[in-house]
Amino acid sequence: MAHTYSSNAAEVGDRFVESIRSFGLKTDYAGKALGQLLADDTATGSQERSIEQQCDGSGSPWAQNSDNPEGRGYRSKKAKRCGTALTNGRTGQMLSKESLAGKVIITQYLVEMTYGTGQPPDRCANGAEPTEADKAITDDDKAFYAHEQGRRFFELDQDICNHNFGRFSAALGEHLRNPGR
């Protein structure tokens, strides 16, 4: 009598493929959609790099605010009025997490971040009330001007990419350990 063997390889393969296909950026991870966590982390990373290092995604420092030799230019006035001449030091608006996260669209396989809220500042970094001139300028306006000045702040850098890859890998590992949860 010949022995016959049965195999569930096809079923295992089908379940594996289904597990992979069911994973995406809308998958819940740590209480939020994975894509939203990646967008939040990207905004935080951009904010930290931009405020602390005043540089773009490749590490190139930004041009400083302009000033004239007598010290009566924008940089000097800003330093005197705000206590800092650094970019975004006065209203904190352009590099806020809200502005950097902007408009986020999450699909199964894509996270799209569009900078800005289109709103003027509602506060200054030092707690003071924004001036009428401040209220006339949105975060989009400031971002456009900063970009024209060579201050590329809305960029990924290697640290952000590494962090997001780690989070994505952890979420995928959790999903594969607990498919269909």
Can you give the pTM of this predicted structure?
0.81
What pLDDT, in 10s, does the model give residues 126-140? 778 888 988 999 999
**What token pair was written down for 84?**
């800092």
What pLDDT, in 10s, does the model give residues 47-101? 999 988 988 899 999 877 776 665 567 777 777 776 677 777 778 888 999 999 9
Q: Which of residues 3 and 53 earns the better pLDDT score?
A: 53
Query: Domain map of the chain by residue range?
Result: 27-177
| pLDDT of res. 169 | 95
| pLDDT of res. 3 | 67
